[in-house]
Structure 1
Amino acid sequence: MSATSRVLLVTNDYPPTVGGIQSYLERFVAEIVARRGSDSIVVFASTQDTKAAQLFDAARDHTIHRWPRKIMLPTLATAREMKRIIREHQIDTVWFGAAAPLALLAQAARKAGAMRIVSTTHGHEVGWSMLPVARRILRRIGNTTDTLTYVSEYTRRRFASAFGAHPDYVALPSGVDTEFFRPATAEEKKSTRSEFGYGDEPLVVVASRLVARKGQDQLIRGWSTVQARFPEARLAVIGEGPYRKKLEQLADPLGDAVTFLGRLPRISMRDLVAAADIMAMPARTRGGGLDVEGLGIVYLEAQACGVPVIAGTSGGAPETVTPETGIVVDGTRTQAVAEAVVELLGDGERRQAMGLSGREHVGGVFSWQALGDRLESVLFEGRG
Structure 2
Amino acid sequence: MRVLHVLDHSAPLQSGYVTRSLGVFAAQEAMGWTPVGLTTPRHERALRRAAAAAPREERAGGRRFLRTPDSRGGFPALLREMSASYRRILQAASEDSFDVIHAHSPALNALPTIQAGRRLGLPVVYEIRAFWEDAAVDSGRLREGGLRWRLQRRMEEAAVRSSDAAAVICEGLKSDLVARGFAPERLTLLPNAVRAADFPSLGPRDPEAAAALGLGAGPIFGFAGSFYAYEGLDLLIEALPEVRQALPGARLLLMGGGPEEEALRRLAAPLGEAVVFTGRLAREELRRRFAALDAVVLPRRAMRLTHLTTPLKPLEAMALGRPVAASDVGGHKELIRDGETGRLFPAGDRAALVAAMVETARDWRSGALEAQIETARAEVLRERDWAAAGPRYAALYAEAARRRAARTKAPLPAWASSLG
Quick one: distance in 1 between partners of 2:223 and 2:100? 41
Q: Are positions 1:378 and 2:396 aligned together?
A: yes
Which one of 293, 315, 324 corresponds to residue 276 of structure 1? Answer: 293
Q: Are positions 1:122 and 2:129 aligned together?
A: yes
| Paired residues for 1:242-261 under 5 Å | 243=260, 247=264, 256=273, 258-261=274-277
Instruction: Give the Å deviation of 1:11.
Output: 3.7
Question: Is 1:283–1:293's contact at 8 Å kept on the other side of the alignment?
Answer: no
Q: 1:102 to 1:325 in 2, by over 3 A?
A: same
Instruction: Give the Å deviation of 1:10.
Output: 3.3
Which amino acid letter does the alignment assign opposite residue 32 of structure 1?
Q
Quick one: distance in 2 between partners of 1:246 and 1:270? 26
| Paired residues for 1:1-384 under 5 Å | 5-16=1-12, 19-38=15-34, 41-46=35-40, 48=44, 52-56=55-59, 67=68, 73-75=81-83, 78=86, 82=90, 85=93, 89=97, 91-104=98-111, 105-106=113-114, 108-110=116-118, 112-114=120-122, 116-127=123-134, 130=145, 131-161=149-179, 164-165=182-183, 168-185=186-203, 189-241=206-258, 243=260, 247=264, 256=273, 258-266=274-282, 267-285=284-302, 289=304, 294-323=309-338, 324-347=340-363, 348-380=366-398
SS at match of 1:260: strand
Q: 1:145 to 1:211 in 2, by over 3 A?
A: closer
Quick one: distance in 1 between partners of 2:10 and 2:84? 22
Q: 1:235 to 1:107 in 2, by over 3 A?
A: closer
Instruction: Give the Å deviation of 1:195.
Output: 1.4
Tell me the alpha carbon deviations over residues 294-346 of structure 1, each in whole angstroms, 9 at most, x when there is no partner.
Answer: 42222221111101101113351322222322111123111111111222233
Instruction: Note the aligned Cα RMSD (angstroms).
Output: 3.8
Instruction: Give the Å deviation of 1:232.
Output: 3.3
Q: 1:296 to 1:10 in 2, by over 3 A?
A: closer
Quick one: distance in 2 between partners of 1:162 and 1:173? 21
Question: Is 1:284–1:292's contact at 8 Å kept on the other side of the alignment?
Answer: no
Quick one: distance in 2 between partners of 1:229 and 1:142? 50
Which amino acid letter does the alignment assign opposite residue 135 of structure 1?
R
SS at match of 2:223: strand
Instruction: Give the Å deviation of 1:174.
Output: 3.6
Which amino acid letter does the alignment assign opposite residue 145 of structure 1?
S
Gaps of 5+ in 1: none
Instruction: Give the Å deviation of 1:121.
Output: 1.4
Tell me the alpha carbon deviations over residues 209-249 of structure 1, each in whole angstroms, 9 at most, x when there is no partner.
Answer: 44443233333433444344433333333344555565556
> Which piece of structure 1 moves more, 99-108 or 271-280?
99-108
Which amino acid letter does the alignment assign opposite residue 170 of structure 2?
S
Quick one: distance in 2 between partners of 1:206 and 1:81? 37
Tell me the alpha carbon deviations over residues 99-119 of structure 1, each in whole angstroms, 9 at most, x when there is no partner.
Answer: 5123324255245332x3310
Q: 1:293 to 1:252 in 2, by over 3 A?
A: farther
Q: 1:30 to 1:204 in 2, by over 3 A?
A: closer
Which amino acid letter does the alignment assign opposite residue 151 of structure 2?
V
SS at match of 2:197: coil
TM (normalized to structure 1)? 0.78
Quick one: distance in 2 between partners of 1:196 and 1:282? 24
Gaps of 5+ in 2: 45-51, 72-77, 137-143, 401-418
Which amino acid letter does the alignment assign opposite residue 341 of structure 2?
T
Quick one: distance in 1 between partners of 2:185 and 2:295? 40
TM (normalized to structure 2)? 0.72
Question: Number of matched residues?
Answer: 369
